[in-house]
Structure 1
Amino acid sequence: MQFTEFNSPNSLQNNSAVKRTELNNYINAQYYGTIELGTPPVRFKVVFDTGSSNTWVPSSQCTSLSCKFHKKYSAKKSSTHRANGTKIRVNYGSGSMSGFVSHDILRVGDMQIEDQAFAEATYLPGPAFLFGKFDGIFGLGFPSLSVRRTVPPLQNAIAQGMLDYPVFAFSIRHQDVKEAGFVTFGSIDESAYVGNIIEIPVSREGYWEVPLTALHMDKFYNESSLDIDFLNSPIGAVIDTGTSLLGFPSQIAEILNDIIGATYKNGMYRVDCAKRDSLPDLRIFLDGHDFSLSPYEYIVKHKKKCYSAITKVDIRPPIGPLVILGNAFLRKYYSVYDIANRTVGLALTSDPLIEI
């Protein structure tokens, strides 16, 4: 793959001023780091999510079973809390959050963001939050996606002059690598990728959505192949750090899984681990650039069993249809999110895939 040059300001280069937050990896499904809220500061584990724009943590007023297993924010115990009270509900693919808006100091890395609006979650239904290793969500989508138009933390950090340049970047790694990954704010880390970075323009603000122009997979099990050209009417591909898998409209997902001989059972596509070496690559073209995934990248192995990361996601117009490129994609590609220029940059990660 050929990479074009990433023409960004010198402030984006690797330097000692980089604001870096380490990530934890739970079975290649959840990547989370820490923030602090309030005075005195209380630490929370959060998913840094490019697929949403609201930030929330469980409230001391939460009555859901999920909240019993997670750290909770108490407004009464923070001297810098400012009440708001606006009711809020945020829907996710794996559940929803209901609560109300509050304001307080938020710290991430070495940044201290004053008077940050966030949601105190009072209702967290569903197993995703009950069994999740994270306490809450740190939204990194565009402000237009934010429910109740609360300003996301990074936009406030920019307004308060905390970043050298309005950009952030993710290095997401495999669970077999000692360091799970990291996110940087205000600069990129040149040691995290190889080659050059391809800049892809955001096609529609809200999500970090870029144009999907083609999909290709050679024939294998059923003697058929997939070769779709979206050049005349590209559909959106969302680069989503808060999603573990690869989401495609149902018809496309079924064809791809049929090609690789995956069998559907209990909501998941099972694949024979021994067949991975002979399966074809999945080629994803974003704005005309070819980003391929090998079978070891689009198939996830867990407890000696293999599962296809290709799953069904049907999003209706006018927002959809959309393709969701989650961590199965981002483990191969270092990603840079340029707020000023409205681009997503992608480059091969410097971490080679460990084939297991």
Structure 2
Amino acid sequence: MIITSLVLGLLPLVSAGRIHKLKLHKIPPTSSNPALESAYLAEKYGSQMRQTPLMGAGGSGRRVARPATKDGEPLFWTQETILVAMVFLDQCVTRDFYFTETSLGNPPQSFKVILDTGSSNLWVPSTKCTSIACFLHTKYDSSASSTYKANGSEFSIHYGSGSMEGFVSNDVLTIGDLAIKKQDFAEATKEPGLAFAFGKFDGILGLIDEPVFSFRVGPSEEDGVKATFGGIDSSAYKGKITYVPVRRKAYWEVELEKVSFGDDDLELENTGAAIDTGTSLIALPTDMAEMLNTQIGAKKSWNGQYQVDCSKVPGLPELSFYFGGKPYPLKGSDYILEVQGTCISAFTGLDINLPGGSLWIIGDVFLRKYFTVYDLGRNAVGFAVSA
């Protein structure tokens, strides 16, 4: 996606000398479909997704690209959005969402927002929004808040399916035990098509511009997910934290130097890895994803999933990512997702070629094993083994 007009950073989120811990809530999926999650990532990162699976009766084996025309006639945005809505609707039941309760204004108006290291903006639906998505979610009402301050600057985020549009406002933001006065945020007045209508969250709290925060994703639902702002929770990791410089100021992206799989090494050049709390998968170039899925014996099912015989998971080769010259290994049980008795590969093909090289997306299958620190002052991401 492309962000225009301004970046709504959350630099004032942390008060000096204080650490704020926040436990996130999980909306679990009712099923799993990595193929559709990769389509979601394509929307998020602006990749040209060449093919999107069609689901439903008669959909088995059929794959289509997003066409620009049909029968010689141009397809307009409403028709394209139907495809995107299909992807997003399925996403709402096929991927985990980690959200927290926040509030804006006085008296407080509550919203469910996703904490996302892949974006830098805080936005919520506005009462002035007329899109279908806004009617299905909690909306911010500036007239009901005594602490509201008008700003009026235009705000837009361009997705593959259209533009989210709105304007900037200012009010008190409360998150956990922390209240931030005079926080800028966006009121969304237009949310593209049906893509956001079925999301089980109201808005997004982007974390690209936060001074320092960290994530620990527990290995089980009981263990949960904890975000810490303003410092580092020393009980959340073991050993030392290794910091790796951010290679490009667009996402929390570091240089991916090498990947090893079993006894095979692959040296990489001009390749970034975005550490993304907003996905459960590992998205990598399509040819490499297909190669890895072949080597682990994954078979493609009718709905696009690459499934593995669960009895073979303990014997799968180790996969290691190299950041800052150090390997970060994952076992087969780490990169294979078990959903309702089915074992599914986390490797999904997604070709993202940006200025400066290609981009891999590293999600929860990595974050469950490694504690991560996002430090704007250092301009770096820190890695350590989770406690």
The normalised TM-score by structure 1 is: 0.78
Q: 1:311-322, aligned counterparts within 5 Å?
A: 311-318=348-355, 320-322=357-359
Residue type of the partner of 1:227? D
Residue type of the partner of 2:106? T
Q: 1:273-292, aligned counterparts within 5 Å?
A: 273-292=310-329
Deviations 1:65-105 (A, max 9, x none): 33333221111211222223333332468986333222211
Task: Confirm or deny: 8 A CA contact 2:307 2:344 kept in the other structure.
Answer: yes
1:272 aligns with 2:297: no
Q: 1:145-184, aligned counterparts within 5 Å?
A: 154=210, 166-174=211-219, 176-184=220-228
1:132 aligns with 2:177: no
Aligned residue number for residue 256 of structure 2: 212
- Displacement of 1:128: 6.2
Residue type of the partner of 1:228? L
Residue type of the partner of 2:295? I
1:190 aligns with 2:226: no
Q: Within 2, Cα distance between the matches of 1:289 and 1:138?
A: 31
1:299 aligns with 2:342: no
- Displacement of 1:127: 6.7
- Displacement of 1:266: 2.5
- Secondary structure of the 2:312 match is helix
Deviations 1:307-352 (A, max 9, x none): 21111222223164101111221111111111111121111111xx
For residues 327 and 130 of structure 1, do their structure 2 counterparts lie closer, same or farther at Cα, with a shift above 3 Å needed?
farther
For residues 302 and 110 of structure 1, do their structure 2 counterparts lie closer, same or farther at Cα, with a shift above 3 Å needed?
same
Aligned residue number for residue 113 of structure 1: 180
Residue 89 of structure 1 is aligned with which of 136, 144, 156? 156
- Secondary structure of the 2:313 match is helix
Residue type of the partner of 2:213? F
Q: 1:1-356, aligned counterparts within 5 Å?
A: 17-27=18-28, 29-91=96-158, 97-125=164-192, 129-142=196-209, 154=210, 166-174=211-219, 176-218=220-262, 227-230=265-268, 233-264=269-300, 265-318=302-355, 320-350=357-387
Length, aligned pairs only: 304
- Displacement of 1:183: 0.7
Q: Within 1, Cα distance between the matches of 2:241 and 2:257?
A: 19
For residues 310 and 126 of structure 1, do their structure 2 counterparts lie closer, same or farther at Cα, with a shift above 3 Å needed?
farther
For residues 336 and 285 of structure 1, do their structure 2 counterparts lie closer, same or farther at Cα, with a shift above 3 Å needed?
same
- Displacement of 1:267: 3.6
Q: Within 1, Cα distance between the matches of 2:217 and 2:96?
A: 11
For residues 97 and 267 of structure 1, do their structure 2 counterparts lie closer, same or farther at Cα, with a shift above 3 Å needed?
farther
Structure 2, unaligned runs of 5 or more: 1-16, 29-94
Task: Confirm or deny: 8 A CA contact 1:226 1:256 kept in the other structure.
Answer: no
- Secondary structure of the 1:130 match is coil
**Higher mean C-alpha deviation, range 300-309 or range 123-132:** 123-132
Q: Within 1, Cα distance between the matches of 2:161 and 2:271?
A: 23
Residue type of the partner of 2:23? E
Q: Within 2, Cα distance between the matches of 1:94 and 1:254?
A: 27
Q: Within 2, Cα distance between the matches of 1:94 and 1:86?
A: 23
- Displacement of 1:121: 1.9
Task: Confirm or deny: 8 A CA contact 2:168 2:187 kept in the other structure.
Answer: yes
For residues 88 and 346 of structure 1, do their structure 2 counterparts lie closer, same or farther at Cα, with a shift above 3 Å needed?
same
Residue type of the partner of 1:129? F
The normalised TM-score by structure 2 is: 0.72
Deviations 1:197-225 (A, max 9, x none): 1111112222111110001213xxxxxx7
- Secondary structure of the 1:203 match is coil
- Secondary structure of the 2:353 match is coil
Q: Within 2, Cα distance between the matches of 1:71 and 1:87?
A: 21
Residue type of the partner of 2:235? S
Percent identity, aligned pairs only? 47
For residues 126 and 226 of structure 1, do their structure 2 counterparts lie closer, same or farther at Cα, with a shift above 3 Å needed?
farther
- Displacement of 1:195: 1.6
Residue type of the partner of 1:203? R
